[in-house]
Every structure is written in structure tokens, then in C-alpha cells.
Amino acid sequence: MKLPTAEPGAPTASDPDQQRLSPPPSPPLLSVRNLRVSFRDEHGHCVPALKGISFDIPAGRTVALVGESGSGKSVTAMAITRLLPAHGCQIDAGSQIVFAGRDLLTASRRELRQLRGADIAMVFQDPMTSLNPVYTVGEQIIETLMLHTKVGRKAAHQRAVALLMEVGLPTPDHKMRSYPHQLSGGQQQRVMIAMAIACEPKLLIADEPTTALDVTIQQQILQLLAGLQQKHGMAVLFISHDLELVGQFADEVVVMHHGSIREHAPVQQIFEAPQDVYTKALLCCRPHLARRPARLPVIKDFLGDAGYSEPPQRQRGYLPDDEVILDVQGLSVEYHSRHGWFGKRHCCNAVQDVSFQLMRGRTLGIVGESGSGKTTLGLTLMRLQAASAGRVLFAGHDLLAMSPRQLCDYKRRIQIVFQNPYASLNPRMSVAQILTEPMLLHGIGRDHAERLQLAGNWLERVGLSHQALGKYPHEFSGGQRQRLAIARCLTMHPDILICDESVSALDVSVQAQVLNLLQDLQDELGLSYLFISHDLAVVKHLSDQVLVMQHGRCVEQGDADTLYAKPQHAYTRQLLAAIPQGWPHGVKPQVA
């Protein structure tokens, strides 16, 4: 999607006669002017979320909103669709949101119902919470069509099948009868896109539509959106925290920070000549395939007076004298299922004959698409999933052959950080309870006071304060919750930490902070990491060796630098080709 250029011999803006004859430029499809939104906190104080932002979306073009969590991106999208809560939220009187000549802030409920879904559609970040779990995919698409297009059920069913085919879902007739939980994350997102384009809207708002998806699925979704936009002539508001991702898709980029717009420019300028220091920071915080700094930059490195200079590069790889801490030999895991009471029993090979070695103080990255067996492998090493064959040797002992009583001490020495800190931390327990309970179970600390002191010390080690002990998980951001999950693991003094997609859904700057924390802890404590991720740029930054999995099998394994420079397997090359590269002609911004 390149910016249009003038045809040879076409009249230019410097010709006054042509200026008088040429028609005035057409108004934008959506115009946001001086939008101010504030929320009321528990003490009754108004907290500004948007501080007078203004931007336009021309018809048929893609404008991206980029920024960290809390920058106001999603609030902007919810304000445009008038989905902000009626109580506790205030939009200032001077704000304007004009869509196709109509001010949405003064529109009636009836007008808004006619616009939503028909002229303005939205694809939310998490399709599993956006799709109704008790209705089939087909019923949900048919409902949208019958509500906005006034067609009969038979015609709506035919149109729904055509939509599922258009978004690239195989066997659309079968998918019509499927429930959301029976589809993968990428398939659920395609269903959401099918519902969004069902009435051929003029504006599609995509709020983080590819977050936490595999790189290959991510590319498929972006290509799908670009193709649908070209076919239907839609304008797209694309919301993301990843500048490199929007560089492949957007025409213009709006960079937001703390409710304000820091920079608004064509995508080429954003990548080749960014003007604002915050934009430069977002571009540099993301791990890069071509370099591996000893410490990733974070936003505050750029916003200070001293400026930022890149640290030296870090060398990776196993060394001949490294000690083997974990030796996995021929590990296999099978799942068994049965359809109906008397149905035939089916066997699924989730992990098939996987072998590798992890060295003390080193990192082994495990990559692959969803369903490749990465998470199953990590859970099996923790004995949270039963293995069907193989050996897992830790400190000379086979973990798979141990009784639960024998395994107790070894479970303390291998800990896991799960992908979703919102689900892995008990919302009913305070931080003090979350951190001291594992110590109590494993007999660490003489009494509660000592365990509380140890918990506070670990909080400081992961960048939080003692005051956090009295708080609850909902009072922390996503990055802070992930730090809490890491601190809980560290209270056990582990030798091995299994990180299962532990930074996949974090902003680029928060992601950099957590990756720096993991590296600091490894340097200081000699921890060994099994780093499971679908983000190959992050894996390259942190890993000494990389293991590539596909359909439960290890298809390639080797030194990280060698594997990325000269991949041997076609599947590895496919994964590497799908990594977002940003603007294709972009250069690294000068930030020092």
C-alpha cells in the first residue's frame, strides 16, 4: 500500500489555473478533533485518558494507532464506536468525531445501532472473549447479516458460508456448525473478521488483531485484511503496539503516548526519518535479528537528557566445557480422545521423539506454531503432563521415573512462568500470600516473618517494591504481573526456569524490561532457561541454541546464530520469512 504519486504531465499544485479548476479535496471518512476523554477513579477524581487528540482517516486508507498500553489507543477506538461506559466516563463538550458527515457524539442510540456493524465494524483483540461460546460460528454471522441487511435466513446462511470462504477458512460448511472453542486462535480471528466485513463497512477498526498469534498466522491475518480492504474499498484503523508490524500494513501512523499524539506522519517517514524521540524509542526497543545488544533499550533510556547509546553486543552459543543440567531423550506425549460413548478411540501424538540438552546458565529457545507441541513439552518436563515414552535426566536422575514423593524436591528446582499472568496469579490472594505459599509448602524460611522478608527481597530483585506485598494482582499492569510470576518462581531457588510465551502479549518496552530482567537473573544466579515462544526475534535475542518444532517433532536444532543465518529445514525458513520487518526500505533511526 504505497502512497499515490502524480502521473507524468499531470497538473501540479504550483499551477494557479489548475488550482482554480481542480475540485476541492474530498473530506475524510472519519475526522477526530480535540477528543478529550476522562475516567473517574475510586476517589471521585477525573483522570484524563485522551488529551485533545486530532487525526483523520481518508476513505480506503489505513491509519495505524501505535503506542504502549495506557497510551489511549483502545479508548480512542471505543470512543469512535461509542462503546465507552456511560458511568464513570466523560467526553468533553468540545470533542468532535465526524463520520461521513455525521457527528457520532450527538447521534442517537438508534443511529448508532444502524452504524455499528453496517458502516463501522470492529475486530477486537481477543476473539475468544468476543465470540459467544454458546452459539455456533454460523449462527453469530447469520445474526449480524439478518440484523443489518434485512435478508432472509436462507440468504444469510449462503452469505455466511461465502464470507468464511472469503477469509480463508477451509471447509466453511463444517465451520458454520463449529463452536468458537473448537477453532484455533487464528481461525477465531478469521471468524471475527468475517463478521466485521459481513455488511461491507466503510470503516474497519482492528484493535490488536494479531497479538499473541504465531508469526505465520499473524502474516496471514495481515494479508487477509489488506486483500479485503482492496476488494471492498474499506478504510482501516489499525491499532497495535508494534511499529514493525504496522510498517507492513499502514499508510499513515499516529504515535500515541499517555493520551497525546507524539507524531503523525506517513509510514515511510516514521521509519526512515522519525522526528519524535518516543517514536525512535519504540523502533529500537524491539529485538532485532541483525544485532544482539547486551541490554535491550527501554523507553526511559530515550526520554532522559543524556540520550541513548547502544551497549556492546552479546555473544551466544554453547561452549565445550558447559555442564549439562537437563538431558531429554526420546520424549513422546500422546493424547487420547473418543467421540461419543461408543465412538472409536483416537490417538494424537502431541510430542514425538524429541531429544535435546540444556546447559547450566544457558538458554534453549523452543519455537514453532500453535499446535507444534511447545507448551506440551514444557508441561511434561514439569510432570504436569504425562509422557508416553522417553527420559528426562536432571542431576543424573530420571524425573519421569520418580514417585510423587521423590519428585517433590526436584519440582522446586524446575519452575515455570506461564504465558498469561492474569490467569496464573490467584486474584483472591495478596502478593504476600502468592509469594510465601510456595515457600511454606517446600519448607523455605523458619517462620512467616522470614518468608515475608524473603518475598520482599525477591520483589526488589525483579524491580518491584516491598509495598507491593499488601496489594492484589488486579492492581498491577501486565508487565508487573509477569514480574510477580517470575518472583514467585525465584522464591524456590530454581536451577531451571521454563518461560512459556511469557512476553508474547506485552508491549515492546515492557517486553524489553522483562527480557533484561531474565538476562540479569541468569548472569547473577546462573539460571538455565527453556524459552518457549513463537516470536523468533525475541528467541534470537535471548537464546544460545534453538529447537524448532512442527507437529510435535523437532525438525531442526542448533546454534542460534547459525540456525537464523543458514536455516536447513523449509519450515524454519517459513517461520523466519514471516517475521515482521517494518517498512521495507526503512533504516535504523539515529538515537544517540
Share of the chain above pLDDT 90, in %: 51
Residue 291 grid cell: 544485532
pLDDT band at 10 (very low <50, low <70, confident <90, very high): very low
| Plot region of 452 (φ>0 → left; ψ -120 to 50 → alpha; else → beta) | alpha
What is the rounded average pLDDT of the residues 309-330? 91
E-assigned strands of 461-540? 496-500, 528-532
What is the rounded average pLDDT of the residues 58-75? 90
User: Domain 362-386+403-577: which topology?
Assistant: Rossmann fold (3.40.50)
4 CB burial (10 A radius; 0-12, 13-18, 19+)? exposed
Q: Cα–Cα distance between 153 and 137 in angstroms, integer?
A: 15
| Average pLDDT score over the chain | 86
Q: In this predicted structure, what is the pLDDT of residue 212?
A: 64
Given a cut of 60, whether residue 267 has pLDDT beyond it is: yes
The answer to whether 520 and 490 have CB atoms below 8 angstroms apart is no
Q: In this predicted structure, what is the pLDDT of residue 18?
A: 46
Q: In this predicted structure, what is the pLDDT of residue 126?
A: 74
Cα(first)–Cα(last) distance of the chain, in Å? 31
**Lowest mean per-residue pLDDT among 17-21, 87-91, 139-143, 570-574:** 17-21
Q: In this predicted structure, what is the pLDDT of residue 410?
A: 85
Q: Cα–Cα distance between 500 and 489 in angstroms, integer?
A: 13
pTM listed for this prediction: 0.82
CA angle 139, 125, 49 (to 5 degrees): 125
User: What is the per-residue pLDDT across 346-383, written as a single tens digit (0 to 9) for each?
Assistant: 777 889 999 999 999 999 999 998 778 898 999 999 99
**Lowest mean per-residue pLDDT among 69-78, 523-532, 543-552:** 69-78
Rounded (10°) angle between helices 508-525 and 478-490: 20
Given a cut of 90, whether residue 393 has pLDDT beyond it is: yes
Domain ranges of the chain: 26-285, 362-386+403-577
On the question of a common fold for 26-285 and 362-386+403-577, the answer reads yes
CATH (residue range 26-285)? 3.40.50.300
What is the rounded average pLDDT of the residues 517-540? 92
Given a cut of 60, whether residue 31 has pLDDT beyond it is: yes
Nearest alpha-carbon partner for 77 in 108, 123, 41, 46: 123
pLDDT band at 40 (very low <50, low <70, confident <90, very high): confident
**Lowest mean per-residue pLDDT among 277-286, 303-312, 321-330, 442-451:** 303-312
pLDDT band at 591 (very low <50, low <70, confident <90, very high): very low
Residue 336, H or E segment: strand 324-338
User: What is the per-residue pLDDT across 418-429, written as a single tens digit (0 to 9) for each?
Assistant: 877 778 899 999
User: What is the per-residue pLDDT across 176-207, written as a single tens digit (0 to 9) for each?
Assistant: 999 998 887 778 888 988 888 888 899 999 98
